[in-house]
Amino acid sequence: MRDGAVKRPRQEEDSGGGLHERRSGSSQRGRKDVEGNGHREPALTSDRGRENDRRQRDNGRGDEGGSFYRRSKRDNSRGRDERCDRDASGGHRERSHNDIRPSIHQGGRGIGRGGRGRGSGTCRGGGRAAQKKNDREEFDLVVSRPQTEEGQAMSKQAVLGNALPVNLQANYFQVARRPKWGVFHYRVDFKPDETDTKIKKMLLRQHIETLPANIFDGSSLYSTTRKMMLYSKQENTDDMVELSIRLVAEVAATDCMYLQLLNILVRKCLEAMGLDEINRNFYDSNQAIKLEAHHLQLWPGYKTSIRNHENSILLGVELTHKVLRLDSCLQVINDIQRRCYDRSRVRNELVGSIVMTVYNRQTYQVDDIKWDSSPTQSFDFQGKQITFMDYFKTKYNINISDPRQPLLVSRPKKKDFHRGTRQPILLIPELCQMTGLSEEMRSNYQLMKSLAVHTQVEPAARVAKLNDFMNRLQTDPKIVEELLRWGLKFRNRLVDLPGRVVPSESIKLGDGKVECPNTKYEWTNAFRDKPMYSSIPLKTWVVIMPGIAAAGVDKLIKTMQHVAAPLKFVISTPVAFHRIGSSHPNEYARAVDDVMNKYKDSIQLLFVILPKIATDTYAAIKKRATLEFGIPSQCFVTGKPQIEKNLSSVCTKLVVQMNAKIGGVPWTVHNPMQKLMVVGFDLYHCGKRKGASVGAMAASTCDSLAKYYSTASYLPNKDALSDKVGVDFAKCLHAYQIINKVLPSRIIMYRDGVGDGQLKYVFETELRAIRETIKSIYKSSAQPEPKFTFIVVTKKINTRLFASQNNGRPINPRPGTVVDDVITLPERYDFYLVSQSSPLGCAAPVSYNVLYDTQGLDPNKLQRFTYKLCHMYFNWSSTITVPAPCQYAHKLAYLTGLSLGAPSSERLANSLHFL
């Protein structure tokens, strides 16, 4: 592993074309948006702002997006021989500190065939704007794959060992043939100026007979010939529009723009299928699924991406769905104001949500509401003053019915500032459709059940839909002709790849007993007659309850004591039952105060009974207990029929959770490494609190990996990367040292919530801060620095894996399935792991990218250790999607950001109070 990072181009959108349009902040980071940006809606912009926008459009069209690099045949054969040698020897040579060679490349040939670095070709033209563009592109790539002393890439594939080999498929199609000739890249300008990308594409399509194979994204034209000037007619007015075409660059097959071009071509094919582009993805509105009972529409669609993978270029295709609410923002405003004329409630409902404009299907995030503005307000459009009402009537033939409605504000984000957009975008509520689900909707069981019928597509149906997609791509005459003109061809079946299923872990319980997970990969039945690994007697605790819940409390307590007995968890009778008159949040807060003022530090746990799920009540309880008094609290919602029906099962899970909160250990797994600290880090972005984010860290403090120190920090803005990670990491090291009287000799950190576009920043900022913290603390303690591994965990990925039954029917892979070849990236030390059982829908693997490593563990050991940690989350007696430290960090960040509003009391730092 190296201390540096290869700088290579990043695929990133920079192809707008209008004055005031942008994509929503909810869109996936790090992915390209080149095709069809749509229309920039009017905003109040100064002359200087318009001039900045104009200059940005004129200058920002140099060398764009994409990247490509290659390896010679000799390199390929040498890589295969090297892998065969290691497999034959039965293992991998450990990577010692001497094997880790610092290296910072500036382009050139990368690791693996078809990588992502610069090739030998050149991208001419573009000047300063092109350089700025390339600087942004280079931001996201960090080469993490270790090299030998000879400069060869070390194998990241684990040996089979005692794992079970398995044949898999993934949702990728191999590029069987790709263009081999050069393509000319042009900048297209319109006179008079046109801002709507759809109109610009219509104007260019008038010359389809005279232009050869070409791709146009609204500003950049890629073609195999040269054209200097074209003239087109506007559809409605017959006004002539001049199209000025200027040569920017020549794109060769090895140029940095090559992959970008292939992605644009695929997006063009999706348009030819009649799909609608929304937020970088394409949806089939003709196949919309209406859920009339819930006033929702569900649009099925596809996410696509062409990328260089381990041995070839692959087209990734994933199914997606867009949830659209049938009510407009104006209807939401009117409904709230009819019930209660409270503008704060309107703000709470709309601010932070994503809306879609009905006239051009662009999405925006609502950042504010301008109550003093209305559609009758004028703005400057092409040098003339025009009202919003007249603009939409002229442009889209839309009549706005309510001239007194307020305007929604969508503020420009960082990428908009890069393009010169400084002014907020103003939207008409009547013309904005709500998207996504509110918290109230998510808590509606029937609604979520109805959605799951369509969104949780099981493997066989998913594979059939993916094959149908490729069949459409290869049989539609227009698309076939377009691909043939470019020389691009895809294989018609999903890519095959090898995988391994690592052995299931044995669960260590009390009295030396061991439980093996069942066929569902869970061990819930162990808690019927086997003791927990260790328990803390619960002797002093208080129950807080409303009067309406008093009747069933005795039965609940007795059931808890009954199921806890075989677990050797002693639960005494509560020292007090504190009744409250109502279930109002303030009543619960006062009750916590009264109990704590009476008993002070003599009680171990507050047990709070709630009649129903209520976010504000839960927050009120947690704030008083967690922030003010630093005592663990357990909330329990009663009154549900399923609780009464399965009371013993519910109580078993409840007592296991309570034991973990007060310091007990329900179970553990074998840990082969001593003096090891495992750290998880995650971020939570507070949607309703503008710009606020919470970073949380959970670090193990014992060799059983079952006890944790946790800390959280508020960040000043809504940034996905924390600059306080070094300070929090130092707290974890000191906590470990206090408990163990020595610092850890090994540290493995799992960083969750990082997009591809943030890797370079994480590497250069977070990782550097952590390494400096380690160096400083270990130096002051006169201890040698520990072996350290930093792994980026990515859950939200588009990769799906499919195993098969004996009859060939696709099924979900078994938990423990690992993939480290074919679909992995050649420049990374990465692997995919399916750790959870998925009885519904399709199992989603998690991507692990080893960004920094001095441990010397071979891939097999690191992969299996990661799987071990997926067994260690005490809220679920089964494997979970990510390692337990990541999930603990996520829970703490979520609780802090959503309910607490401030970091927890330091008294709770060494307990899992947030479970």
The residue type found at 382 is: Q
Given 752, 756, 830, 858, the catalytic residue? 752
Q: Are 206 and 242 in contact (CB under 8 A)?
A: no
Q: At what angle do helices 725-740 and 767-780 cross, to 10 degrees?
A: 40
Report CA dihedral (705, 710, 714, 715) to the nearest 10 degrees.
Answer: -30
In Å, what is the CA distance from 364 to each residue of 20, 347, 562? 12, 16, 54
327 is catalytic: no
User: Does residue 227 sit in helix, strand or coil?
Assistant: coil
Pairing of strands 633-637, 605-610: parallel
Give which of 347, 503, 332 is closest to 434, Cα–Cα. 332
Structure tokens at 168: 């898999």
Nearest residue to 110 (alpha-carbon basis) of 374, 308, 385: 308
- Spell out where 160-228 has E strands: 164-170, 172-177, 183-191, 214-216, 220-223
* 402 given a catalytic annotation: no
Dihedral Cα 376, 379, 381, 387, nearest 10 deg:
10
- Cα–Cα separations (whole angstroms), residue 391 to 46, 258, 276, 698: 18, 40, 24, 54
Catalytic residue among 217, 416, 682, 728: 682
Residue 725, class by beta-carbon neighbours within 10 Å (0-12 exposed, 13-18 middle, 19+ buried)? buried
Sign of CA dihedral 7, 13, 15, 16: negative
SS3 sequence, 292-350? HHHCEEEEEEEEEEEEECCCCEEEEEEEEEEEEEEEEHHHHHHHHHHHCCCHHHHHHHH
DSSP string computed for 72-101: -HHHHHHHHHHHHHHHHHTS-----GGG--
Distances from the Cα of 223 to the Cα of 305, 390, 855, angstroms: 21, 39, 50
Assess contact for 670 and 876: CB atoms under 8 A. no
Residues identified as active-site: 682, 752
